[in-house]
Amino acid sequence: MPLLWLVISATKTQEGLAGSFGLWFDGDFALWDNIGTTFTYNDGVFTRWLLNTLMYVGLGAGGATFLAVLGGYALAKFAFPGKRAVFAVVIGAVAVPGTALAVPTFLMFSKMGLTDTPWAVVIPSLISPFGLYLMWVFATEAIPTELMEAARIDGAGEVRTFFQVGLPLLAPGMVTVLLFTMVATWNNYFLPLIMLKDPDWYPLTLGLNSWNAQAATAGGEPVFHLVITGSLITVLPLIAAFLLLQKYWQSGLAAGSVKE
């Protein structure tokens, strides 16, 4: 119902939002005008926010997925002292909410002079304990140890074994972790809120919230229809990603659920 309301409301003008029933279309279909105005309002700042979000997702979610794959593969296929301790740390990190780490992270980044920069959002996004745990479990079942031993007998080193033998078999799990981290980074609000002051570095979440606050202020410019349209545009890339990658992430979610 909220998604249906969002789609219908994005087709209305500012006046139509106030004067028509929320779950039905208005007489004036203004979707294309709303989209055009959203991208051009305030010197096209929405486009900047969209590009910022894509940058944060590309560097943060992409980097988190790569690190999770490396860590999960190593933990699943190599024996070393302290492995149980690492497992306990990973499980403990999964249980810690991100909001509990926000203030310590801000203080640490403030001392390093990284606040109000893109790195203040990207670097914390690189850490995904749940993604690491998921890749650990997936790699344990997805990569036969015998296959790795055969590659080593044929003269392949550990790096070549990982990239040519392990990585292709980890593709479903990688896509699953990528989707989880992408959604978390795309929807990230609290971390950018405390880290960023310059609107030019805002992601979509902060930018739309600033527009919403502007629309709610007495005497402020009526831009609520742009908030609605911007929210619809923000949702569409996530829906497209899930639809395009569903065959991979569905198989990744089911991996390891049945033991032979």
DSSP string, 16-77: HHHHS-TTS--SS--HHHHHHHHHHHHHHHHHHHHHHHHHHIIIIIHHHHHHHHHHHHHHHH
**CATH second-level architecture of 30-254?**
Orthogonal Bundle (1.10)
Determine the pLDDT at residue 65: 95
Determine the pLDDT at residue 219: 56
Distance in angstroms (rounded) separating the CA atoms of residues 124 and 91: 18
Determine the pLDDT at residue 207: 93
Q: Is the pTM above the cut of 0.75?
A: yes
Determine the pLDDT at residue 223: 84
Q: Which amino acid is at 67?
A: L
Determine the pLDDT at residue 218: 55
Determine the pLDDT at residue 259: 47
Q: What DSSP letter does each residue of 140-195 carry, written as one string?
A: HHHS-HHHHHHHHHTT--HHHHIIIIIHHHTHHHHHHHHHHHHHHHHT--HHHHHH
Percent of the chain that is helix, strand, coil (3-state, to 5):
75, 0, 25
Classified as helix, coil or strand, 13 is coil
pLDDT tens digits, residue range 202-221?
999 999 999 988 877 755 56
Spell out the domain ranges in the chain: 30-254
Q: Consecutive sets of 10 residues in the chain, 260 residues long: mean pLDDT of each? A: 89 79 78 91 93 95 94 90 88 85 91 93 92 91 88 88 89 90 92 92 94 74 86 92 76 49
Please identify which residue in the block is written with the tokens 């809120």.
Answer: 193
